[in-house]
Each structure stands twice: as structure tokens, then as C-alpha cells.
């Protein structure tokens, strides 16, 4: 998994980063969007981050415009939206692609590590019922899919987009990783 921790990433302010720079922390990586029905999940993600950051937990937000153009803004517009609307203080990254031919290598590694999302709820059926074509598995299904990374950089869980940050399954998985010290 060294590749996962050394992949070059760019923060939303343009500064360079890697997952390795967050070593020793439990990470929840989430592809986010500002104009999605799931956008209110930002509030839950921020609350989760605030409640657990002192224990060595971080949420890392990766804006993506892969699903019905629901993240059309520039990095500066996204940063402003997140700050003003949801008071986001967790690390945000530059907009990337999480699906298809232009998928960022980070998401290729995440999907390769865990091809199935846990807890897939009614989201897929709801979208398909509206005639919206879904990505075939194992691709990222939609905005707000979540990947949990252990302190040692291993991908340990994947949660469907409609599983909110305060869902007991996510909280239990994070707490289990944090308990490993």
C-alpha cells in the first residue's frame, strides 16, 4: 500500500499533499459535491471530524464533478461554499475525477482495495427509478461514498453514498480503528 500513501495530491488551496502526510491517523476519504441531494452530509462529516479529531481522526474531502455535474465550481468556489455553508474545517482537496477514464489514481487504489460498498441503501434504486444510469460495480456509485483508512494506511472499509457520517456502522468502524492506537 505504499503507493496509496505516496500518491501526489493537491489541497484545495493548491498546496501539495499525500496520504502519507496524514500517517498515524484514521482517515475517512469522501468524494463530495456542492449541488447534490446528499450535500447536507457535509454537516455530519464536519461534526464527526470535530468529535474525533483529537483522537487522531480526519475526514478528507475530494470534490468531484462526475455525477450529473453536481460539483461545477472552481476550487476557490468550492472552498468558499464549504466554509460559508457548512463551516467545514476538515482538509479539502482540489477537484478530481473519481470515476471513468480520468479517475484519479487515489480512487483507482481505493476501489481496487475494496470493490464493494457496505450498507448500500435505497440510493441506487432511487436513482435508477429516475432513469439515472449508475456506474457498474465496483466503480464509485455517487457523491459522498466513503473509504476508511487505518492508521497504517490500509483501506479497511467502504460505505455507500447514502450512509451518513453518523450511521452506527461508520462510527463503529472508525472507533474500532481509533482503538487500535
Residue 139 grid cell:
466503480
Task: Grade residue 121 by pLDDT with cuts at 50, 70 and 90.
Answer: low
The residue annotated as part of the active site, out of 1, 7, 36, 109, is 36
- Say whether pTM exceeds 0.85: yes
Q: Which domains does the chain have, with CATH numbers?
A: 3-179 (3.40.30.10)
Is residue 82 annotated as part of the catalytic site, yes or no? Answer: no
pLDDT tens for 34-91 read 999 999 999 999 999 999 999 999 999 999 999 999 999 999 999 999 999 999 999 9
Which among 8, 6, 48, 26 is positioned nearest to 154, based on CA atoms?
26
Residue 29, beta-bridge partner list: 60, 147
Amino acid at each position: 500500500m505504499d503507493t496509496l500513501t505516496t500518491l501526489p495530491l493537491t489541497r484545495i488551496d493548491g498546496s501539495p499533499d499525500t496520504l502519507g502526510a496524514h500517517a498515524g491517523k484514521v482517515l475517512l476519504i469522501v468524494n463530495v459535491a456542492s449541488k447534490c441531494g446528499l450535500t447536507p452530509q457535509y454537516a455530519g462529516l464536519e461534526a464527526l471530524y470535530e468529535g474525533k479529531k483529537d483522537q487522531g481522526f480526519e475526514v478528507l474531502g475530494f470534490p468531484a464533478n462526475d455525477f450529473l455535474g453536481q460539483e461545477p465550481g472552481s476550487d476557490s468556489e468550492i472552498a468558499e461554499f464549504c466554509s460559508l455553508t457548512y463551516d467545514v474545517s476538515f482538509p479539502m482537496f482540489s477537484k478530481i475525477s473519481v470515476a471513468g477514464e480520468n479517475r484519479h489514481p487515489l480512487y483507482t487504489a481505493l476501489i481496487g482495495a475494496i470493490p464493494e460498498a457496505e450498507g448500500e441503501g435505497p440510493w441506487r434504486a432511487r436513482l435508477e427509478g429516475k432513469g439515472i444510469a449508475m456506474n457498474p460495480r465496483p466503480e464509485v456509485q455517487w457523491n459522498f461514498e466513503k473509504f476508511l483508512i487505518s492508521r497504517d494506511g490500509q483501506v479497511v472499509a467502504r460505505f455507500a453514498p447514502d450512509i451518513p457520517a453518523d450511521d452506527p456502522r461508520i462510527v463503529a468502524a472508525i472507533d474500532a480503528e481509533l482503538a487500535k492506537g
